[in-house]
């Protein structure tokens, strides 16, 4: 039986049109875009066309788009360069529910004596802009917040947080890896200075991403080389993957309204069916201010990991960390105040453009059957580390 893929937040398949767009640059058009002859210039034109497509999707200007190897690199450059843009400021403000690309980078900055301040999310996964107002001050160089949390899908009020940051003269960075292509992301409406994108979250290949840097923002480069990408990401450009991301962004913009509606319908149908069969099922994160494709559901009295092991017909993920003799619940869910035994039951289900009604119906039935099986055969909860 064909498995149902419900892990689009982990990665997406490459769109067939995206693959077709990139293939010529893996075959005949292999030129170096820095070369002056025709083969190289065709590559340069392809890169600039892709840059324009990315810019159009997020309301930016083409010269504000910097291509990177992915969302992690984009966020690392944003944080490490944003923190250094003003040598008189040594504080970075973020949240306690960030992606590791941000959280680990903040830990690295702390080793360089930066003051890392974290705002705690509320129980519904939202952060309160007023909490930033009490923490962001004249010592703050950068504020960095994930736009849509990757595990629970909650969408943060970035524009309100940006107003607080700019009021104190700090830069604002948003990690938009999970939100671009699913909801409207407009860098001007959000009023961000820096923004990260991961290509493989919107039907482009893995290994390509974008850092948006607002025009006029002078952030130092953390990499050195021949000066490509305005010196902020030097190195010979990955032409084929850049073209792929450009095409993915062009398609995302053209299909955004239909995609958002489709994913919302699939998500809501899945949640309704699971609730009907498992009344005590809980939804983590804000019930409405969330991505249209994401559910983080807490199955009662079972481990989410064991449930998925018993349900090979559904490809999904948990936020738990598994060890030889124990299972640790998701740190994100614990940060929301959930009890460890509740958090251990978490399963993230994320739909995509290719998800069908029959996929949803099959997945709901398989997950319910697996829950019933695991609850009967393994009623004892796993030991977790507090």
Task: Give the residue numbers annotated as catalytic, written as ranges.
Answer: 322
Q: Which two tokens stand for residue 96?
A: 């306690």
- Cβ burial, residue 265 (10 Å; 0-12/13-18/19+): middle
Using left for φ > 0, alpha for ψ between -120 and 50, and beta otherwise, residue 340 falls in: alpha
Among residues 213, 197, 317, the alpha carbon closest in space to that of 245 is found at 197
Nearest to 332 by CA among 285, 268, 386: 285
CB 302 within 8 A of CB 282: no
- Which regions of 263-323 does DSSP assign to beta strands (E)? 282-283, 294-298, 314-315, 321-322
Q: Which residues are 155's β-sheet partners?
A: 148
Q: Which of 204, 212, 217, 219 is nearest to 174 (CA)?
A: 212
Count CA within 13 A, CB hemisphere, residue 115. Answer: 11
Q: What angle do CA 254, 153, 181 make, to 5 degrees?
A: 15
User: Torsion angle, CA of 94/130/198/102, rounded to 10 degrees?
Assistant: 10
Q: Contact 6/351 with Cβ under 8 angstroms?
A: yes
- 94, containing H or E segment: strand 91-95
- Say how far apart CA 354 and CA 359 lie, in whole Å: 9
Burial class, 221, CB count within 10 angstroms (exposed 0-12 / middle 13-18 / buried 19+): middle
- Alpha-carbon span 348 to 284, nearest angstrom: 10
Q: Which two tokens stand for residue 10?
A: 């982990």
């Amino acid at each position: 039986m064909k498995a149902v893929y419900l892990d689009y937040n982990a990665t997406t398949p490459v769109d067939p049109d995206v693959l077709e767009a990139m293939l010529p640059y893996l075959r005949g058009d292999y030129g170096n875009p820095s070369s002056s002859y025709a083969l190289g210039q065709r590559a340069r034109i392809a890169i600039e066309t892709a840059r324009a497509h990315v810019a159009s999707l997020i309301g930016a200007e083409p010269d504000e788009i910097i291509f990177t190897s992915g969302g992690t690199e984009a966020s690392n450059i944003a944080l490490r360069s944003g923190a250094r843009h003003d040598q008189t400021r040594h504080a970075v403000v973020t949240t306690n529910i960030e992606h590791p690309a941000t959280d680990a980078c903040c830990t690295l900055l702390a080793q360089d004596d930066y003051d890392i301040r974290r705002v705690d999310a509320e129980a519904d996964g939202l952060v309160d802009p007023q909490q930033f107002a009490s923490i962001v001050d004249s010592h703050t160089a950068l504020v960095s917040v994930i736009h849509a949390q990757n595990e629970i899908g909650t969408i943060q009020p970035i524009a309100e947080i940006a107003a607080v940051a700019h009021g104190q003269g700090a830069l604002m960075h948003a990690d938009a890896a999970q939100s671009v292509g699913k909801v409207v992301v407009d860098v001007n409406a959000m009023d961000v200075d820096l923004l990260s994108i991961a290509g493989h979250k919107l039907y482009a290949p893995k290994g390509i991403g974008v850092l948006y840097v607002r025009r006029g923002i002078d952030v130092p480069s953390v990499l050195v080389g021949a000066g490509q990408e305005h010196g902020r990401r030097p190195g010979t450009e990955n032409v084929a993957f850049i073209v792929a991301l450009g095409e993915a962004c062009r398609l995302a913009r053209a299909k955004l309204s239909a995609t958002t509606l489709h994913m919302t319908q699939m998500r809501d149908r899945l949640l309704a069916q699971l609730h009907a069969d498992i009344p005590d099922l809980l939804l983590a994160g804000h019930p409405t201010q969330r991505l249209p494709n994401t559910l983080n559901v807490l199955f009662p009295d079972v481990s989410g990991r064991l449930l998925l092991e018993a349900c090979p017909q559904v490809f999904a993920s948990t936020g738990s960390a598994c060890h030889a003799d124990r299972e640790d619940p998701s740190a994100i869910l614990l940060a929301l105040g959930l009890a460890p035994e509740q958090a251990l039951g978490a399963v993230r289900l994320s739909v995509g453009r290719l998800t069908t009604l029959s996929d949803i119906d099959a997945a709901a039935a398989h997950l319910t059957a697996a829950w019933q099986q695991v609850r009967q055969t393994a009623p004892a909860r796993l030991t977790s580390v507090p």
